[in-house]
Structure 1
Amino acid sequence: MNTCGTIDCEAEAQDKYLCGKHTRYLQTELNKIPELLEDLFITMAKLDHTAPQRSEGGGGLSTGSAMPLRYGALELRQALGLWTHSNAEKLAQDHRAGNFLPMLSKLISDATDCIDNPPEVRVITTCRCGGQVVTEEPKPEDGKPDTGNCEICDEYYEQTAAMTRFRIHRATPEALRTRDAIKWIRDNAGISIKSTDIWNWQREGKITPTNRQEGSREHPTYNVADILKAHYLNVEKNRRATNF
Protein backbone atom coordinates (compact mmCIF):
# COMPACT_ATOMS: atom_id res chain seq x y z
CA MET A 1 0.00 0.00 0.00
CA ASN A 2 1.45 3.36 -1.08
CA THR A 3 1.06 6.79 0.48
CA CYS A 4 0.30 9.86 -1.66
CA GLY A 5 3.56 11.44 -2.82
CA THR A 6 2.19 14.99 -2.63
CA ILE A 7 3.86 17.11 0.04
CA ASP A 8 1.88 17.22 3.32
CA CYS A 9 -0.53 14.52 2.14
CA GLU A 10 -0.46 11.14 3.88
CA ALA A 11 -3.60 9.70 2.31
CA GLU A 12 -3.54 6.15 1.01
CA ALA A 13 -2.85 5.81 -2.72
CA GLN A 14 -3.28 1.99 -2.92
CA ASP A 15 -1.10 0.78 -5.82
CA LYS A 16 -0.48 4.31 -7.16
CA TYR A 17 1.54 7.29 -5.96
CA LEU A 18 -1.23 9.89 -5.80
CA CYS A 19 -4.35 9.74 -3.69
CA GLY A 20 -7.76 10.07 -5.34
CA LYS A 21 -8.11 13.74 -4.38
CA HIS A 22 -4.77 14.82 -5.84
CA THR A 23 -5.30 12.71 -8.94
CA ARG A 24 -8.51 14.68 -9.56
CA TYR A 25 -6.64 17.96 -8.95
CA LEU A 26 -3.99 16.90 -11.46
CA GLN A 27 -6.62 16.09 -14.08
CA THR A 28 -8.24 19.49 -13.53
CA GLU A 29 -4.91 21.17 -14.29
CA LEU A 30 -4.39 18.98 -17.36
CA ASN A 31 -7.80 20.01 -18.68
CA LYS A 32 -6.68 23.66 -18.74
CA ILE A 33 -3.85 23.02 -21.20
CA PRO A 34 -5.60 23.05 -24.64
CA GLU A 35 -7.12 26.51 -24.12
CA LEU A 36 -3.87 27.84 -22.65
CA LEU A 37 -1.94 26.62 -25.69
CA GLU A 38 -4.24 28.62 -27.98
CA ASP A 39 -3.92 31.77 -25.87
CA LEU A 40 -0.15 31.37 -25.67
CA PHE A 41 0.05 31.10 -29.45
CA ILE A 42 -1.75 34.43 -29.84
CA THR A 43 0.50 36.01 -27.22
CA MET A 44 3.61 34.42 -28.75
CA ALA A 45 2.95 35.61 -32.31
CA LYS A 46 1.41 38.96 -31.27
CA LEU A 47 -0.98 38.82 -34.19
CA ASP A 48 -2.89 42.02 -33.40
CA HIS A 49 -0.35 44.37 -35.07
CA THR A 50 -0.35 46.78 -32.15
CA ALA A 51 3.33 47.69 -32.48
CA PRO A 52 3.82 51.47 -32.80
CA GLN A 53 5.00 52.23 -36.31
CA ARG A 54 7.13 55.12 -37.50
CA SER A 55 5.05 57.97 -38.82
CA GLU A 56 5.27 58.46 -42.58
CA GLY A 57 4.36 61.59 -44.49
CA GLY A 58 0.96 62.66 -43.26
CA GLY A 59 1.50 61.31 -39.78
CA GLY A 60 -0.53 58.12 -40.11
CA LEU A 61 0.66 54.73 -38.95
CA SER A 62 2.28 52.45 -41.49
CA THR A 63 0.99 48.89 -41.79
CA GLY A 64 4.09 46.83 -41.09
CA SER A 65 4.64 43.37 -39.76
CA ALA A 66 3.53 42.22 -36.32
CA MET A 67 5.71 42.67 -33.27
CA PRO A 68 8.61 40.22 -32.88
CA LEU A 69 8.08 36.71 -31.57
CA ARG A 70 7.69 36.55 -27.80
CA TYR A 71 10.13 33.89 -26.72
CA GLY A 72 8.79 33.60 -23.16
CA ALA A 73 5.38 32.55 -24.48
CA LEU A 74 7.03 30.20 -26.97
CA GLU A 75 8.98 28.40 -24.25
CA LEU A 76 5.92 28.07 -22.01
CA ARG A 77 3.90 26.72 -24.91
CA GLN A 78 6.55 24.10 -25.64
CA ALA A 79 6.72 23.07 -21.96
CA LEU A 80 2.94 22.75 -21.63
CA GLY A 81 2.76 20.86 -24.91
CA LEU A 82 4.61 17.96 -23.27
CA TRP A 83 1.55 17.40 -21.05
CA THR A 84 -1.06 17.61 -23.83
CA HIS A 85 -2.00 13.92 -24.09
CA SER A 86 -1.36 13.02 -20.46
CA ASN A 87 -3.93 11.40 -18.22
CA ALA A 88 -3.91 11.89 -14.45
CA GLU A 89 -4.79 8.26 -13.67
CA LYS A 90 -1.85 7.01 -15.71
CA LEU A 91 0.52 9.67 -14.33
CA ALA A 92 -0.45 8.66 -10.80
CA GLN A 93 1.22 5.29 -11.43
CA ASP A 94 4.63 6.96 -11.79
CA HIS A 95 6.72 6.97 -8.58
CA ARG A 96 7.51 10.68 -9.27
CA ALA A 97 3.83 11.61 -9.41
CA GLY A 98 4.02 13.65 -6.21
CA ASN A 99 6.08 16.25 -8.10
CA PHE A 100 3.80 16.46 -11.13
CA LEU A 101 1.02 18.59 -9.65
CA PRO A 102 3.19 21.46 -8.30
CA MET A 103 5.30 21.36 -11.48
CA LEU A 104 2.26 21.64 -13.76
CA SER A 105 0.54 24.21 -11.54
CA LYS A 106 3.63 26.43 -11.73
CA LEU A 107 3.70 26.17 -15.53
CA ILE A 108 0.01 27.05 -15.75
CA SER A 109 0.46 30.00 -13.40
CA ASP A 110 3.38 31.33 -15.46
CA ALA A 111 1.40 30.89 -18.68
CA THR A 112 -1.59 32.74 -17.25
CA ASP A 113 0.63 35.63 -16.15
CA CYS A 114 2.24 35.74 -19.60
CA ILE A 115 -1.16 35.88 -21.32
CA ASP A 116 -2.66 38.46 -18.95
CA ASN A 117 0.42 40.66 -18.90
CA PRO A 118 2.27 40.22 -22.19
CA PRO A 119 5.81 41.59 -21.93
CA GLU A 120 6.79 44.83 -23.64
CA VAL A 121 9.05 44.21 -26.60
CA ARG A 122 11.80 46.86 -26.77
CA VAL A 123 14.07 47.58 -29.74
CA ILE A 124 17.58 48.27 -28.44
CA THR A 125 19.63 48.60 -31.64
CA THR A 126 19.86 47.61 -35.32
CA CYS A 127 21.60 44.38 -36.32
CA ARG A 128 24.29 44.21 -39.00
CA CYS A 129 21.78 42.30 -41.16
CA GLY A 130 19.36 45.22 -40.96
CA GLY A 131 16.93 43.60 -38.54
CA GLN A 132 15.85 45.01 -35.19
CA VAL A 133 17.51 43.72 -32.03
CA VAL A 134 14.70 43.19 -29.52
CA THR A 135 14.26 42.14 -25.92
CA GLU A 136 11.38 41.46 -23.54
CA GLU A 137 13.49 42.28 -20.49
CA PRO A 138 12.99 45.59 -18.66
CA LYS A 139 15.49 48.38 -19.26
CA PRO A 140 18.61 47.67 -17.16
CA GLU A 141 20.04 49.93 -14.50
CA ASP A 142 22.58 52.56 -15.49
CA GLY A 143 25.93 51.05 -16.40
CA LYS A 144 24.56 47.58 -17.10
CA PRO A 145 24.28 46.27 -20.69
CA ASP A 146 20.99 45.98 -22.55
CA THR A 147 20.87 42.56 -24.22
CA GLY A 148 18.72 41.13 -26.98
CA ASN A 149 18.57 39.08 -30.17
CA CYS A 150 17.98 40.10 -33.78
CA GLU A 151 14.43 39.24 -34.84
CA ILE A 152 15.73 38.15 -38.27
CA CYS A 153 19.05 36.33 -37.81
CA ASP A 154 18.82 35.80 -34.00
CA GLU A 155 22.33 37.22 -33.41
CA TYR A 156 22.90 38.13 -29.75
CA TYR A 157 23.87 41.71 -28.82
CA GLU A 158 24.99 43.50 -25.69
CA GLN A 159 24.44 47.25 -25.89
CA THR A 160 25.69 49.76 -23.34
CA ALA A 161 25.22 53.52 -23.21
CA ALA A 162 28.93 53.98 -23.95
CA MET A 163 28.67 51.74 -27.01
CA THR A 164 25.62 53.66 -28.22
CA ARG A 165 27.45 56.99 -27.88
CA PHE A 166 30.43 55.57 -29.77
CA ARG A 167 28.18 54.27 -32.55
CA ILE A 168 26.43 57.64 -32.88
CA HIS A 169 29.71 59.54 -33.00
CA ARG A 170 31.14 57.16 -35.57
CA ALA A 171 28.08 57.32 -37.85
CA THR A 172 27.29 61.03 -37.82
CA PRO A 173 28.92 63.93 -39.73
CA GLU A 174 31.44 65.95 -37.74
CA ALA A 175 31.36 69.33 -39.46
CA LEU A 176 28.00 70.58 -40.74
CA ARG A 177 26.70 74.12 -40.70
CA THR A 178 23.56 74.74 -38.65
CA ARG A 179 21.01 74.43 -41.45
CA ASP A 180 22.77 71.37 -42.92
CA ALA A 181 22.92 69.68 -39.50
CA ILE A 182 19.21 70.35 -38.96
CA LYS A 183 18.37 68.83 -42.35
CA TRP A 184 20.60 65.78 -41.73
CA ILE A 185 18.97 65.10 -38.37
CA ARG A 186 15.46 65.52 -39.79
CA ASP A 187 16.17 63.23 -42.77
CA ASN A 188 18.06 60.51 -40.87
CA ALA A 189 16.64 60.57 -37.34
CA GLY A 190 13.14 61.94 -37.95
CA ILE A 191 13.70 64.67 -35.33
CA SER A 192 12.96 68.36 -35.84
CA ILE A 193 15.48 70.64 -34.14
CA LYS A 194 15.40 74.42 -34.52
CA SER A 195 18.35 76.64 -35.25
CA THR A 196 17.56 78.59 -32.07
CA ASP A 197 18.03 75.36 -30.09
CA ILE A 198 21.53 74.94 -31.50
CA TRP A 199 22.43 78.56 -30.81
CA ASN A 200 21.12 78.30 -27.24
CA TRP A 201 23.00 75.03 -26.59
CA GLN A 202 26.20 76.64 -27.85
CA ARG A 203 25.64 79.70 -25.64
CA GLU A 204 25.05 77.41 -22.64
CA GLY A 205 28.23 75.46 -23.38
CA LYS A 206 26.44 72.20 -24.22
CA ILE A 207 27.91 72.06 -27.72
CA THR A 208 31.02 73.62 -29.27
CA PRO A 209 31.59 74.51 -32.95
CA THR A 210 34.12 72.25 -34.62
CA ASN A 211 35.66 75.22 -36.48
CA ARG A 212 35.90 77.71 -33.62
CA GLN A 213 39.62 78.27 -34.28
CA GLU A 214 38.90 79.60 -37.77
CA GLY A 215 38.00 83.15 -38.77
CA SER A 216 35.04 84.93 -37.19
CA ARG A 217 33.34 85.24 -40.57
CA GLU A 218 33.10 81.48 -40.96
CA HIS A 219 29.71 79.92 -40.32
CA PRO A 220 30.02 77.66 -37.27
CA THR A 221 30.01 73.93 -37.94
CA TYR A 222 28.95 71.24 -35.49
CA ASN A 223 29.34 67.56 -34.81
CA VAL A 224 25.84 66.15 -35.35
CA ALA A 225 26.34 63.63 -32.52
CA ASP A 226 26.95 66.54 -30.10
CA ILE A 227 23.68 68.15 -31.20
CA LEU A 228 21.76 64.90 -30.73
CA LYS A 229 23.30 64.38 -27.29
CA ALA A 230 22.23 67.89 -26.22
CA HIS A 231 18.77 67.28 -27.67
CA TYR A 232 18.22 64.03 -25.75
CA LEU A 233 19.51 65.54 -22.50
CA ASN A 234 17.01 68.36 -22.81
CA VAL A 235 14.19 65.96 -23.65
CA GLU A 236 14.94 63.86 -20.55
CA LYS A 237 14.87 66.94 -18.35
CA ASN A 238 11.60 68.11 -19.92
CA ARG A 239 13.18 71.46 -20.62
CA ARG A 240 11.73 71.71 -24.09
CA ALA A 241 9.12 70.03 -26.24
CA THR A 242 10.24 67.92 -29.16
CA ASN A 243 8.76 67.72 -32.60
CA PHE A 244 8.85 64.33 -34.29
Structure 2
Amino acid sequence: MSHECTTEDCRNHTSTYLCGRCTSDLQQWLDKVPVLVRELSVTVARLDNVRPAGGGGGGGHQPGSAAPISLDALQLQENLRSVGTDAKAYAQDSRAAGLAWLIQDWVTKAELLVSGPDEPPINHAANRERVRNIAPAMPTRELLPWLRQNARIVVTSMDIRNWARRGKLNPVGREPQPTYHPHEVINAWHDTRVP
Protein backbone atom coordinates (compact mmCIF):
# COMPACT_ATOMS: atom_id res chain seq x y z
CA MET A 1 0.00 0.00 0.00
CA SER A 2 1.44 3.38 -1.03
CA HIS A 3 0.91 6.68 0.78
CA GLU A 4 2.77 9.97 1.18
CA CYS A 5 5.87 10.28 3.33
CA THR A 6 4.97 11.75 6.74
CA THR A 7 7.91 14.20 6.73
CA GLU A 8 6.62 17.76 6.50
CA ASP A 9 6.72 19.12 2.92
CA CYS A 10 7.72 15.75 1.48
CA ARG A 11 5.18 14.40 -0.98
CA ASN A 12 7.09 11.31 -2.05
CA HIS A 13 5.10 8.09 -2.18
CA THR A 14 6.26 5.25 0.04
CA SER A 15 5.08 2.01 1.58
CA THR A 16 6.45 3.07 5.01
CA TYR A 17 6.11 6.29 7.01
CA LEU A 18 9.36 7.73 5.58
CA CYS A 19 10.29 7.68 1.91
CA GLY A 20 13.67 6.39 0.77
CA ARG A 21 15.20 9.87 0.63
CA CYS A 22 14.00 10.82 4.13
CA THR A 23 15.15 7.45 5.49
CA SER A 24 18.59 8.04 3.97
CA ASP A 25 18.72 11.55 5.48
CA LEU A 26 17.78 10.16 8.89
CA GLN A 27 20.49 7.50 8.62
CA GLN A 28 23.10 10.22 8.07
CA TRP A 29 21.97 11.90 11.29
CA LEU A 30 22.00 8.57 13.15
CA ASP A 31 25.53 7.84 11.94
CA LYS A 32 26.77 10.93 13.84
CA VAL A 33 25.32 9.79 17.17
CA PRO A 34 28.04 7.37 18.43
CA VAL A 35 30.82 9.94 17.94
CA LEU A 36 28.78 12.69 19.57
CA VAL A 37 27.97 10.54 22.59
CA ARG A 38 31.74 10.03 23.15
CA GLU A 39 32.61 13.70 22.54
CA LEU A 40 29.85 14.88 24.88
CA SER A 41 31.62 13.08 27.75
CA VAL A 42 34.36 15.71 27.52
CA THR A 43 31.81 18.50 27.20
CA VAL A 44 29.88 17.26 30.24
CA ALA A 45 33.01 17.71 32.37
CA ARG A 46 34.04 21.02 30.79
CA LEU A 47 34.03 23.66 33.47
CA ASP A 48 33.70 26.79 31.35
CA ASN A 49 29.90 26.92 31.29
CA VAL A 50 28.44 24.69 33.94
CA ARG A 51 25.81 24.56 36.66
CA PRO A 52 26.40 22.64 39.86
CA ALA A 53 25.02 19.11 39.88
CA GLY A 54 21.76 19.04 41.77
CA GLY A 55 20.87 22.48 40.43
CA GLY A 56 22.21 24.17 43.56
CA GLY A 57 22.23 27.90 43.61
CA GLY A 58 24.36 30.33 45.57
CA GLY A 59 27.38 29.61 47.68
CA GLY A 60 29.64 28.01 45.08
CA HIS A 61 31.16 24.54 45.33
CA GLN A 62 30.74 23.08 48.82
CA PRO A 63 33.09 20.42 50.20
CA GLY A 64 31.65 16.99 49.61
CA SER A 65 29.13 18.21 47.03
CA ALA A 66 29.04 16.87 43.50
CA ALA A 67 31.46 18.39 40.98
CA PRO A 68 30.01 20.95 38.60
CA ILE A 69 28.95 19.50 35.26
CA SER A 70 27.28 20.71 32.11
CA LEU A 71 23.72 19.51 32.61
CA ASP A 72 22.77 20.50 29.06
CA ALA A 73 25.51 18.29 27.63
CA LEU A 74 24.61 15.46 30.01
CA GLN A 75 20.94 15.60 29.00
CA LEU A 76 21.80 15.58 25.29
CA GLN A 77 24.18 12.67 25.83
CA GLU A 78 21.41 10.67 27.55
CA ASN A 79 18.94 11.59 24.80
CA LEU A 80 21.36 10.43 22.10
CA ARG A 81 22.08 7.18 23.97
CA SER A 82 18.36 6.37 23.67
CA VAL A 83 18.47 6.69 19.87
CA GLY A 84 18.46 3.60 17.67
CA THR A 85 20.93 3.06 14.85
CA ASP A 86 18.71 1.93 11.97
CA ALA A 87 16.71 4.52 10.02
CA LYS A 88 14.74 1.76 8.26
CA ALA A 89 13.35 0.67 11.62
CA TYR A 90 12.24 4.24 12.33
CA ALA A 91 10.57 4.38 8.90
CA GLN A 92 8.14 1.67 10.08
CA ASP A 93 6.96 3.78 13.05
CA SER A 94 3.89 6.02 12.60
CA ARG A 95 5.75 8.71 14.60
CA ALA A 96 8.77 8.55 12.25
CA ALA A 97 8.63 12.14 11.00
CA GLY A 98 8.50 13.58 14.52
CA LEU A 99 11.23 11.26 15.76
CA ALA A 100 13.45 12.16 12.81
CA TRP A 101 12.97 15.86 13.56
CA LEU A 102 13.78 15.29 17.25
CA ILE A 103 16.93 13.29 16.46
CA GLN A 104 18.11 15.98 14.04
CA ASP A 105 17.49 18.63 16.73
CA TRP A 106 19.47 16.68 19.35
CA VAL A 107 22.37 16.04 16.97
CA THR A 108 22.51 19.70 15.92
CA LYS A 109 22.52 20.88 19.56
CA ALA A 110 25.16 18.29 20.50
CA GLU A 111 27.41 19.38 17.62
CA LEU A 112 27.11 22.98 18.79
CA LEU A 113 27.97 22.05 22.38
CA VAL A 114 30.95 19.94 21.29
CA SER A 115 32.46 22.36 18.78
CA GLY A 116 31.11 25.67 20.08
CA PRO A 117 29.51 28.37 17.97
CA ASP A 118 31.11 29.46 14.73
CA GLU A 119 33.40 32.42 15.06
CA PRO A 120 31.92 35.47 13.39
CA PRO A 121 33.85 36.54 10.29
CA ILE A 122 36.21 39.48 10.74
CA ASN A 123 35.10 42.56 8.87
CA HIS A 124 38.47 44.03 7.86
CA ALA A 125 36.91 46.95 6.00
CA ALA A 126 34.91 48.00 9.08
CA ASN A 127 38.01 47.68 11.27
CA ARG A 128 40.00 49.91 8.93
CA GLU A 129 37.16 52.46 8.95
CA ARG A 130 37.14 52.52 12.77
CA VAL A 131 40.90 53.06 12.81
CA ARG A 132 40.44 55.96 10.38
CA ASN A 133 38.19 57.68 12.93
CA ILE A 134 40.33 57.11 16.04
CA ALA A 135 44.01 57.20 15.05
CA PRO A 136 45.81 60.33 13.84
CA ALA A 137 48.67 60.34 11.37
CA MET A 138 51.98 59.31 12.97
CA PRO A 139 55.65 59.12 12.09
CA THR A 140 56.97 55.63 11.38
CA ARG A 141 58.72 55.26 14.77
CA GLU A 142 55.34 55.73 16.56
CA LEU A 143 53.27 53.96 13.94
CA LEU A 144 55.05 50.58 14.02
CA PRO A 145 54.46 49.85 17.73
CA TRP A 146 50.91 51.25 17.46
CA LEU A 147 50.11 48.78 14.65
CA ARG A 148 51.60 45.87 16.62
CA GLN A 149 49.57 46.70 19.71
CA ASN A 150 46.28 47.86 18.21
CA ALA A 151 45.99 46.17 14.83
CA ARG A 152 48.03 43.07 15.72
CA ILE A 153 50.07 43.35 12.54
CA VAL A 154 53.81 43.62 12.09
CA VAL A 155 54.97 46.22 9.60
CA THR A 156 58.56 47.33 9.12
CA SER A 157 59.84 50.77 8.21
CA MET A 158 61.09 49.19 4.95
CA ASP A 159 57.47 48.11 4.17
CA ILE A 160 56.27 51.67 4.65
CA ARG A 161 59.03 53.13 2.45
CA ASN A 162 58.32 50.55 -0.28
CA TRP A 163 54.56 51.18 -0.20
CA ALA A 164 55.15 54.95 -0.33
CA ARG A 165 57.58 54.55 -3.26
CA ARG A 166 55.04 52.39 -5.16
CA GLY A 167 52.19 54.83 -4.49
CA LYS A 168 50.23 52.53 -2.18
CA LEU A 169 50.80 54.95 0.68
CA ASN A 170 50.89 58.76 0.70
CA PRO A 171 52.48 60.68 3.55
CA VAL A 172 50.24 63.23 5.27
CA GLY A 173 53.07 65.58 6.18
CA ARG A 174 56.81 65.57 5.52
CA GLU A 175 58.20 67.90 8.19
CA PRO A 176 60.22 67.06 10.21
CA GLN A 177 59.56 63.48 9.03
CA PRO A 178 56.80 61.81 7.00
CA THR A 179 53.62 60.86 8.86
CA TYR A 180 51.10 58.25 7.74
CA HIS A 181 47.51 57.47 8.67
CA PRO A 182 47.33 54.04 10.36
CA HIS A 183 44.23 53.05 8.37
CA GLU A 184 46.11 53.67 5.10
CA VAL A 185 49.04 51.55 6.30
CA ILE A 186 46.60 48.78 7.30
CA ASN A 187 45.03 49.02 3.82
CA ALA A 188 48.44 48.71 2.17
CA TRP A 189 49.38 45.80 4.45
CA HIS A 190 46.06 44.06 3.74
CA ASP A 191 46.38 44.61 -0.05
CA THR A 192 49.80 42.97 -0.12
CA ARG A 193 48.65 39.89 1.81
CA VAL A 194 45.18 39.15 0.49
CA PRO A 195 45.03 37.66 -3.02
Q: TM-score, normalised by structure 2?
A: 0.49
More strand by share: 1
Q: Which has the bigger relative contact order, CA under 8 A and spacing at least 6?
A: 2
TM-score by length of 1: 0.41
Q: Say which structure is richer in helix.
A: 2
